[in-house]
Structure 1
Amino acid sequence: MKIKTLFIAPYPAMIPLIEECRGIEEDLDIKIESGNLGHALPYVKNAEADGTEMIISRGGTAKLIEQETSIPVIDVQVSGYDMLRVLTLANDFPGKKAIVGFSNITLGAKTITDILDIGIEVFTVAKEEEVEALVFDLKSNGFELIMGDVVTVEAAAKFGLEGILIQSGREAIFDSFYKVKSVYHSFRKKQMENELLKAILKVNTENILVADSKGDIVFEQWNTFSSPPIQTSQLLTLVHRIESPNSVVTMKGIKEEVLKIRISNLQIGDESFTQFVISELESEKHASSYVKIEAVPQLPMIIQESEAMKDCLASVSGNNNRNFWVLIGAAGTGKGLIARYIHYLRYQGNGLFASFHAKEHRKMSDGFDKDTRTIFIYGAEETSSKERAELVKHCKQWNQAGKDVILSLYAETEDFYSAIFDDQANRVYIPLLTERKEDIRPMTAYFIASFHQQLGTSAVKIKEEAIELLEQYHWPGNAAELKTFLYDVVTAEKGYTIRKETVAKQLERKKQRPVQIDEGLLTGTLDQIEKRIIEAVMEEENQNQTKVSKRLGINRSTLWRKLKQ
């Protein structure tokens, strides 16, 4: 089969010679058009539509075409014969003579004029826009004959100078035909390799998208989704979250499904690319209502000014080589945060973190997604004695399957002795907030900043006497209670500084109406506790989001987002 080729001649006088050479060439199906520089581009656009496989042109026109098409372009060179012909024509011409053009013309011209000691000066331009100014300067310096390509000859005519077009002869045209065949076969081989790789990817990879360093998509395929399950802009926000060669994160898809996204960097020569491999989270297909799967892309922030918390985190770091953990601490002490801290220390952002209530452990008999590295179980005390024995058994089975297991307990309960005092268990005791008074000040600053950032609350600092009141209080609900208390304070405080009076007023309300903290309400992570509180208020207000948002002091969009988390 002949190679479908478009030959764009930059000047009309070239066409008869191309037609003559085309009659001799047997391997190319050549279509001829005429157009110099920008005038050639409409032919290029049509070529891409009608299946043209190769393009031939010359000089600046060839260079411009290369920038506008993915079709391989062959540049007709000016041969030594071509240069000798034009120099012969100019030899008897009186006056000063010059050759002006792009490097494809001037490099060979300079070589010949130097070897043969011909008195013709050679000038090279990099852009078309440079030609007229250069020709004008040459006229001012007494030059009378200018040789070059179409743009050079047109500029010479504009300023009243003689011009000779350097044309490509049969030798150069036949040489371009040879290059077309050589490049085509090499190009087709690469195309076949690319098609093979795409076919292999289609069979072995579910869904993949690759973006270049500018954020442009260079490759995508969707095998298990009828259409892209997530907005490209959402994926691109993940590029800077890569903290390891193969990071895994989770995101909500367009249809609210939970997607697992594996992110990796690809370096091809000097170019950098980001690859996203996307799939629906396996365990979420069956357990989305009771298990939360998430990525932990960075080390969680844990305030540790107190010796008690420093000792706690030291015990975590000192036993980081085991995969079974028992976290023992009262409700609200932050066991969920510690669990995520352990997960990050172990895997540095790789793998997923699963958390669920102990009552749901039987539903996890089908196992977890292969990228889930850590399993965090809370609410163990709310199970029956029989369920507790089964839970411990399941924990050991998940351990044997290669998963890290973190069991959260309020105290050293007898039913869990087999887990707590197992030789392979890491026991971590989480201190009460009353044992870490030194942390109340920095925790308060952290929570105030967090509420300011998320909710736009006014307060940005707290007075010293107000801090002292916080340090004197006994905090039965620990860090979780401090956080919710400060939420009430910052929403009540309209100034930029939290006053002692505002804190005292909120504390007085606690004394007037003692709160019996429901252990179940404060089970799990701080985010989960917050969501339970919102859901409880929603129930009290008959699902009226306007009333709930007003009561909680947040806007409706924030309320909606928190309910969706």
Structure 2
Amino acid sequence: MKIKVLFIAPYTAMSYLMEDFRSEIDDIEVDVKVGNLEAAIPIAKRAEREGYDVIVSRGGTAKLIADVTNLPVIDVHISGYDMLRVLTLANQFPGKKAIVGFSNITIGAKTITDILEIPIDVYTVEKAEEVEPLILNLKKEEFTVIMGDVVTVNVADKFGLEGILIQSGREAIFDAFQRVRSLFDFIQKIQAEVSLLKSLLDKTDSDLVVFNTNQEVVFQQWHSLSPSEVRLEQLLASFDEETTVLLHLDDNEKVTATPSRILAGENEYTVFALSKLRRAYTVNKIKADTVQQPPMIIRESESMAFCLAQAEANLDKHNWALIGEKGTGKELLARFIHYQKFQGRGLFVKGSATEILSDFEATDQEIRTIFIYGVEQLTEKDLLTLMKLIQRTAQVIFILSLEEEHASIQSFLFHPFTARVYIPPLRERQKDIRALAAYFIADFHREKGTTPIKIKDEAVHLLEQYSWPGNVKELKALIQDAVLLEKRDVLDGKIVEHLLNKKTASKYEKIDESFLQGTLEDIEKRIIHILLEEEDGNQTKVAKRLGINRSTLWRKLKN
């Protein structure tokens, strides 16, 4: 099947060249029309009705018609050969010379004139209306030769200047038709895939709702559910979330809604795949989602490599205790364990211990893993309730996030079916810092469009010297601050050093001259309150840092 192409030449000479070139493209059927800028618009608008597959034109004309047609438009470029030809021609004329045109002409022209040191001025315009006043001004400055596209040459002739048209040669036209072939093949493949996907969609029994970026429904398919059962505002409430959400139906049934993003050309869509849960499950702040691929975990250091090896060696265990300081990445490791055990199947649920106890009724067979954090905040009574919940919910694995081995849950910690994994703090993972920093830089570059793509050794060295009390989360936050400040491709040590100095200085900002006033007991209380703030009110950790027990700490706070 031949590709049907409409070639709109912005100037007559180009149509002659295209006619000569026609014999070399026997796989493409080409019709040639002449029309520049607005004159080409009605020609392009008729093209779709007349059954053309692709339109080929040049420069500003190609840009204009691309906005008024649904057909793909290929722009014939101006090659380096084309520019050298016109510069050679112009060089034979005496007087001052200038190139005037849109950026598709002037960027390449400027590069060539700079490299070859050709004394020709280059002027860029954004609209055709800018050409006439610019050339009139050049005439006043005694320019005699003006090079550019059709508009430029016409205006130059109008003011009695020598106008030289920058034409696209055979090489540029050959390249354009190569792109026509590639684009047409791509479109054919896409259309075949779309036809296949439509057929598969008709066969599947999934319930789907598709939104565009304006949060408008563009497609919906219902099998086990009906549109009246699902309130679309519930989906819109989680429109910007990337995790699976659970919806409550009016009859107390629950539905998992798993969103995914798809791109179709320049348009982005959000697809919610809906599925009824077969058992009761209530949700407030508890989050449920899927883990479709193993999360990236840096393990260059010996301590982290041992941690991952410990996790992988215990995949047969039913429950887990992940023990480590705040910010060490316990949730990330929990997702890793979930994926390794279930290979992306089933739901991963996470929630605080308080939320799990108040909102968790029973599990659905869709749920495979429940990750619980904030265990340290529970009372002794609530801890006992949590242990009973774990014992009677045997069909899922529980992963507890702990900052230390809690004496009240020893029955869980040291049970034969519980795996204990100790996650090292970042200060013990010095060899991981370079890789972690590089990973975060790449992540921010992709997600936020930040400039740096590399980090200098001097910056890494500074990061390796810091103690990182906030662990990996603190490192990630600092890298984000640094890449937002750095506007070059490489993140150097100056910004990193400045941010680290700020962090160090901030520790002492609260301590002023009045801190040491009063009795020893007053000063001691001030120290305790500062430590409580740093440890988010965790008295056990404060007592440990002070080298006293909790009872002594409590007495000091009461006095």
TM-score (structure 1 length as normaliser): 0.45
Q: Which protein is bigger by CA-based radius of gyration? A: 1
TM-score (structure 2 length as normaliser): 0.46
